């Protein structure tokens, strides 16, 4: 297969030399078992690259999973990745296999690798060196045959200086780096991508294909795309859904392009209608939704941990039966498939890259009362956790299954100091 055939097969659009180089490297390295390290901003196509590598490898019939390391709480990450033995910690009522065991024979994509706790990094390093790992609470060394692809949108070298990434892991990973360029550095691909998305959407919605006037096309190509391809894809979808007129002119398009510092020149010719206020409202709306979703995930974890810890449920059930029921049913789902909360999605307009991996799904909309009662519950649970641990925040955070950082924030928020 030549490069163009590969692009066709995987729906990759673009002709810039740097994209081609990255893709060529991916194709060459795919059939080997070498660990690949993909670097690039959010939304440039890192996950897409990892899938291509898997599909072109000898493992293509084996399993593939993508894990966002930043989305799994520190307290459970070792157990999720490496598994645990029955009784390894309170709540470990069964043996559990981790992803490195279940994906044996396949490929694991570890996104945001720099977010792994240091201790998990050293476990990972061991696995990379010789395929060995040990379940939490076990002393038995196990072997697995997993191809690992890692990715980050950060500068890992800088993270070594900050003490959050192990130097030896960095050198082990960086043997084969693939750098996926940001969209702003390949402006010649912007319009090509737009055309592809517009045509896909016209098929999807059985509607006329969105087209751009000349000035709109200029605006699109000169924009700096902080959210990269994901943002461009979302923008095209917004236009397809929201604009009545399938020919979009510059003045309209401008309203959809959030203003960022580095694209000021493009926006300085601000329209007479004064522009981007529509977008900033939408911006805020998305942000609020993302934050809510994140808080909800934290809350589910808190309640779940508490449930696991308390042998007699009564104490909590008295508190709020309905919530517990809901959390329990959702918990069994998300326990069975921890990926649901950290699979990538197209939901964000990428203004909020921290949270871009959370999916806004219509059926998960949050009603107001629900949120309020959960807030009360949350405060109460945090109090209990602090009380039980004599105010030791590190322990309390572990109990709650949230990061210490989050706990600090919440203590402040609820003035529990």
Ligand X SMILES: Nc1ncnc2c1ncn2[C@@H]1O[C@H](COP(=O)(O)OP(=O)(O)O)[C@@H](O)[C@H]1O
Binding to Mg ion in span 9-48, by CB under 5 A = 47
Q: How many Cβ atoms from other residues are within 10 Å of residue 386's Cβ? A: 20
Q: Residue written as tokens 């007479």? A: 272
Partner in contact with 346, chosen from Mg ion, ligand X, none, beta carbon below 5 to 8 Å by kind: ligand X
228 binds Mg ion (CB under 5 A): no
**d(C-alpha 229, C-alpha 248), whole Å:** 19
Which of residues 54, 166, 233, 410 is near ligand X by CB under 6 A? 233
**Exposed (0-12), middle (13-18) or buried (19+): which is 250, by Cβ within 10 Å?**
middle
Q: How far is the CB of 335 from ligand X (least distance, A)?
A: 25
Q: How far is the CB of 40 from ligand X (least distance, A)?
A: 6
Which CB atom, from 329 or from 345, has the smaller least distance to ligand X? 345
Which CB atom, from 47 or from 305, has the smaller least distance to Mg ion? 47
85 binds Mg ion (CB under 5 A): no
Q: How far is the CB of 293 from Mg ion (least distance, A)?
A: 16
Among candidate residues 55, 159, 148, 62, the one with its CA nearest the CA of residue 100: 148
Q: How far is the CB of 267 from ligand X (least distance, A)?
A: 24
48 binds ligand X (CB under 6 A): yes
In 30-127 the beta strands, taken as DSSP E runs, fall at 36-39, 64-68, 83-84, 96-97, 107-111
Q: Residue written as tokens 């692009």? A: 7
Is residue 385 within 8 Å of residue 399, measured between CB atoms? Answer: yes
Which of residues 42, 76, 142, 144 is near ligand X by CB under 6 A? 42
Which of residues 5, 11, 214, 274 is near ligand X by CB under 6 A? 11
Among candidate residues 377, 364, 396, 380, the one with its CA nearest the CA of residue 292: 364
Partner in contact with 96, chosen from Mg ion, ligand X, none, beta carbon below 5 to 8 Å by kind: none
Cα distances (angstroms) measured from residue 204 to each of 240, 244, 267, 296: 10, 16, 31, 32
**d(C-alpha 77, C-alpha 74), whole Å:** 5
Which of these ranges, 10-18, 89-97, 200-208, 381-389, lies near ligand X under the rule CB under 6 A? 10-18
Residue nearest to ligand X (CB): 45
Is residue 103 within 8 Å of residue 151, measured between CB atoms? Answer: no
Which of these ranges, 46-54, 258-266, 326-334, 390-398, lies near ligand X under the rule CB under 6 A? 46-54
Is residue 117 within 8 Å of residue 76, measured between CB atoms? Answer: no
**d(C-alpha 16, C-alpha 13), whole Å:** 10
Q: How many residues bind ligand X (CB under 6 A)?
A: 18
Q: How many Cβ atoms from other residues are within 10 Å of residue 98's Cβ? A: 20
Q: Which two tokens stand for residue 340?
A: 């649901």
Q: How many residues bind Mg ion (CB under 5 A)?
A: 2
Q: What is the DSSP letter of 327?
A: H
Q: How far is the CB of 47 from Mg ion (least distance, A)?
A: 5
**Exposed (0-12), middle (13-18) or buried (19+): which is 308, by Cβ within 10 Å?**
middle
**d(C-alpha 103, C-alpha 96), whole Å:** 14
Which of these ranges, 159-167, 225-233, 358-366, 393-401, lies near ligand X under the rule CB under 6 A? 225-233
Which of these ranges, 44-52, 200-208, 235-243, 389-397, lies near ligand X under the rule CB under 6 A? 44-52
Which CB atom, from 64 or from 82, has the smaller least distance to ligand X? 64
344 binds ligand X (CB under 6 A): yes
182 binds ligand X (CB under 6 A): no
Which of residues 57, 142, 236, 344 is near Mg ion by CB under 5 A? 344
Binding to Mg ion in span 43-62, by CB under 5 A = 47
Q: What is the DSSP letter of 136?
A: B
**d(C-alpha 286, C-alpha 370), whole Å:** 19
198 binds ligand X (CB under 6 A): no
Which CB atom, from 110 or from 124, has the smaller least distance to Mg ion? 110
* Footprint on this chain of Mg ion (rule: CB under 5 A): 47, 344
* Footprint on this chain of ligand X (rule: CB under 6 A): 11-14, 40, 42-48, 193, 229-230, 233, 344, 346
């Amino acid at each position: 297969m030549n490069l163009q055939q590969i692009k066709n097969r995987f729906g990759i659009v673009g002709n810039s030399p740097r994209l081609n180089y990255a893709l060529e490297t991916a194709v060459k390295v795919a059939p080997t078992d070498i660990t690949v390290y993909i670097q690039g901003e959010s939304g440039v196509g890192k996950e897409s690259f990892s899938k291509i590598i898997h599909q072109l490898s000898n493992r293509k019939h084996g399993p593939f999973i993508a894990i966002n390391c930043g989305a799994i709480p520190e307290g459970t990450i070792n157990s999720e990745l490496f598994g645990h033995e029955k009784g390894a910690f309170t709540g470990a009522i069964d043996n559990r296999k981790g992803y490195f065991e279940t994906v044996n024979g396949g490929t694991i994509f570890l996104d945001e690798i720099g977010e792994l706790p240091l201790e998990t990094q050293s476990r990972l390093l061991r696995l990379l060196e010789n395929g060995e790992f040990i379940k939490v609470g076990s002393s038995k060394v196990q072997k697995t045959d997993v191809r690992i692809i890692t990715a980050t949108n950060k500068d890992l070298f800088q993270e070594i200086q900050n003490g959050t990434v192990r130097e030896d892991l960095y050198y082990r990973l960086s043997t084969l780096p693939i750098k996926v360029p940001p969209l702003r550095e390949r402006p010649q691909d912007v319009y090509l991508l737009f055309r592809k998305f517009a045509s896909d959407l016209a098929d999807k919605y059985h509607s006329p294909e969105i087209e751009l006037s000349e000035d709109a096309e200029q605006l699109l190509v000169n924009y700096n795309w902080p959210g990269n391809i994901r943002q461009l894809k979302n923008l095209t979808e917004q236009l397809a859904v929201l604009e009545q007129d399938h020919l979009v002119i510059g003045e309209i398009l401008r309203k959809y392009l959030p203003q960022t510092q580095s694209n000021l020149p493009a926006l300085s010719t601000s329209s007479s209608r004064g522009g981007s206020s529509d977008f900033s409202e939408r911006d805020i709306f998305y942000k609020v939704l993302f934050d809510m979703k994140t808080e909800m995930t934290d809350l589910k974890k808190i309640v779940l941990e508490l449930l696991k810890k308390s042998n007699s449920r009564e104490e909590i059930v008295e508190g709020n039966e309905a919530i517990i029921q809901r959390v329990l049913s959702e918990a069994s789902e998300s326990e069975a498939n921890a990926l649901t909360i950290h699979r990538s999605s197209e939901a964000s307009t990428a203004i909020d890259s921290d949270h871009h991996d959370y999916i806004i799904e219509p059926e998960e909309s949050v009603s107001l009362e629900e949120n309020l009662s959960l807030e009360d519950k949350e405060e109460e649970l945090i109090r209990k956790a602090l009380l039980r641990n004599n105010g030791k925040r590190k322990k309390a955070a572990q109990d709650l299954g949230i990061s210490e950082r989050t706990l600090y924030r919440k203590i402040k928020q609820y003035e529990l100091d």
